[in-house]
Amino acid sequence: MCYTLMKARRVMTTPRARLIAGSLLSSIALAGCVSKSAYDQLQQQNQQLQAQNQDLQQQVTRLQGAIKYTVNSDLLFRPGSWQMSDQGKQIIAQMASQLASTQQNKLLIKGYTDNAPIGPALKAQGITSNQDLSQKRADAVVQYLISQGFKPDLLAAQGFGDANPVASNDTPQGRAQNRRVEITLAPSTPPAS
């Protein structure tokens, strides 16, 4: 019998009040009422899950070197450019707002491209290789993070060009996946002894 229904029975005095309340409580009971023991069990499970969540958060803090955030370059930069788009700035600003206030470890910004050759427009701007383009894009993200409150001495940028593809460069979808920026939280270095 429902825990709420048992409490309500004690309050009912007249047969008519019992009939009205009984029909109301029956519909409530059928709509999702649980017994006190089931409720207590759910409370205990909830407390256990909250404790597990706290443990996981502490583990994430200890495993910071394993945290990596990957953003498709097409979301961050205008095509054929290393200048961040407004959408790209919004994406990085959201991430920065969560990390900047507690930044203690170095962030490594890694730029990657697909294997498509550099076009004439980029060559005219002095970009002669995918390596150059990926470095400029990683540098642009670093500069934007600094503008969002990150400590410059805790940021590093590196371009990898078309090395380390995550998908095949034989399809437009694969090339799009390979054009990316990875933001990795470096492991903390122990204090010098």
Q: Where are the domains of the chain?
A: 3-59, 64-185
pLDDT at position 10 is 44
Work out the pLDDT band at 133, boundaries 50, 70, 90: very high
Q: What is the mean pLDDT of the chain?
A: 77
125 contact partners, CB below 8 Å, separation of at least 6: none
pLDDT at position 18 is 53
Condensed to tens digits (0 to 9), the pLDDT of residues 138-188 reads 999 999 999 988 889 999 999 999 999 999 999 999 999 999 999 887 765
Domain 64-185 CATH superfamily:
OmpA-like domain (3.30.1330.60)
pTM: 0.63
The CA-atom distances, in angstroms, between 44 and each of 3, 41, 48, 54, 137 are 17, 5, 6, 16, 50
d(CA 19, CA 112) in angstroms, rounded, equals 72
pLDDT at position 138 is 97
| pLDDT(24) > 90 | no
d(CA 14, CA 17) in angstroms, rounded, equals 5
